[in-house]
Structure 1
Amino acid sequence: MILELADIRIHPGQQTEFDAAIQRGLAEVISHAKGFCGFKVNKGIESPERYALMIFWETLENHTIDFRESPAFTQWRAIVGPYFAAPPVVEHFSLLAKSS
């Protein structure tokens, strides 16, 4: 399993609208993508305009090719993109260890 970690910064004062938009985009678009295994979204406490989006994929290619090169990516960005203060920083991780 692959973890996609996106560090998202939004425009100040748009947290309520973005909270609804990201949940809508995850439910309506990303959750239907090939290889999608789940997600977590965390909101910043000290930096309320910062979000950590974690999406779990079966393979790296499920995100980088199957999703990113599909029309679904355009749909996703149309929902959440207007709130971005800058492009998200996205990296991928493989699991090294976890608690039981």
Structure 2
Amino acid sequence: MIVEAVMLQVKQGMEEEYEDAFRQASKIISSMEGYISHELQRCLEVNGKYLLLVKWETLENHTVGFRQSIEYQEWKKQLHHYYDPFPTVEHFEKVHLS
């Protein structure tokens, strides 16, 4: 399993509209192969700042399966115009400590 982590900055004054759009777009991502779960966290200190965490079975489920899909084009259409600057996506894997 991998975790996709994205720090999002939403344009000022568009936060409520963005959250509504994200709720709708959540149906898209949750239908994708290899998707496990996702959550959107709102920053308490910085207005318009969010943290998106998505769990995928494999890196390729995100980078190929989702990002190269028709569904991603709809995701992009619904959400990408809210971001400024455009976010950087990073992927993480669990470190086994025992």
- Regarding TM over 0.5, the answer is yes
Which amino acid is 2:77 matched to? A
- Where 2:30 maps in the other structure, the secondary structure is helix
Q: RMSD of aligned C-alpha atoms?
A: 1.3
Q: Could you tell me which runs of 5 or more consecutive residues in structure 2 were left unpaired when the two chains were aligned.
A: none
Find the counterpart in structure 2 of residue 8 from structure 1.
Answer: 8
Compute the TM-score of the two structures, normalised by the length of structure 1: 0.92
> Residues 26-45 of structure 1 correspond to what in structure 2 (within 5 A)?
26-27=26-27, 29-45=28-44
Aligned residues: 97
Runs of 4+ in 1 over 3 A off after TM superposition: none
Q: Percent sequence identity over matched residues? A: 31
Find the counterpart in structure 2 of residue 54 from structure 1.
Answer: 53
Counterparts of 2:95 and 2:23, CA distance in 1: 28
Counterparts of 2:37 and 2:74, CA distance in 1: 19
Find the counterpart in structure 2 of residue 21 from structure 1.
Answer: 21
